Amino acid sequence: MQRLMKCARALSLGLLLLGLAAVPAVADSSPSASPSDDTDAPTSAGTSFRTAAEVDQGQRATASASTGDYLYWSFPADARQRPTVRATVKLPDKHASATWQIDVYDGLRRRQACQYGAQTRTAAQDAASVELSCTLRTVRAWSEPWADDPLPGTYYIRLTTVGLQAADLGLPVSAEVQIGSKDIGGSAAVDGSLGEPLVPGIAVKTEESDKAAEDSESSVAVLSSIEPDDGWASGWWSDRWVWTGIGGVLAALAGIGGYALTRGAGRPR
């Protein structure tokens, strides 16, 4: 009876540790992009990859343009994040039906497929606006060179219309873009990491430029200056560590309980 009570206490302790450890695991799986101050959000968009307007996750960027223009924005995405891009285009009062499309490219300018979302939509003649969305695959910390997996770095958004009629070319429109992401957690963790994030211009440094940077505060020009609030690869901690620790604790408790149940009542005389 006493052994059973000891095993019950050990099991209760294990369940208590399991509940306490599950709290940070649940928090780790919550959305990671907190709302940012929209006052610092850009009010115009770029016309190419090099002139893309930089947007932080959580901000709502706006832009005024003409129908037929290519609008570009850029944002940072780190490992284990699943970014979602949403765009809203407000159309003029009189317009013909047109198809709008949103594309997302990574730091190597590889077009990334949308896991789900309305990437392309056709606006009817009486439509006042059209909404688009694209949820990317989870960003991996490391991948094979031949793979097309999303990697940490800068991502580009391109918004434009396809199949436009000549009569609607040049009509004024306004666009809103917002980026959010969800932290997937340890289920997306891999054993590896990139030497540097895929940020344009960050890998152009040479030994001479590094020495010059040590002598002066000026550094090599980087085409994209945005990065996550906590820096790149900041989310090294994940629920993968938590569940590994829980497994070790439960294994130790199982060993203690098995020993308490199977050991003899005492040494024979």
d(CA 75, CA 55): 5
- What is the pLDDT at residue 254? 85
- What is the pLDDT at residue 22? 47
DSSP lists the bridge partners of residue 42 as none
Tens digit of pLDDT for each residue in 193-203?
Answer: 777 888 886 54
Q: Does the pLDDT at position 51 exceed 50? A: yes
Give the domain ranges of the chain: 2-26+241-262, 34-230
Q: Does the pLDDT at position 208 exceed 50? A: no
Structure tokens at 21: 């450890």
Mean pLDDT of 59-64: 94
Structure tokens at 68: 């037929």
Q: How many other C-beta atoms are found inside a 10 Å radius of the C-beta of residue 59?
A: 22
- What is the pLDDT at residue 258? 81
Architecture of domain 34-230: Sandwich (2.60)
| Geometric angle at alpha carbon 245, from 250 and 143, rounded to 5° | 130
Q: How many other C-beta atoms are found inside a 10 Å radius of the C-beta of residue 85?
A: 26
DSSP lists the bridge partners of residue 179 as 85
Helices 239-262 and 2-28: angle between axes, nearest 10 degrees: 180
pTM, full prediction: 0.72
d(CA 73, CA 54): 6
Tens digit of pLDDT for each residue in 8-21?
Answer: 565 555 555 555 44
- Bridge-based pairing of strands 60-66 and 172-183 is antiparallel
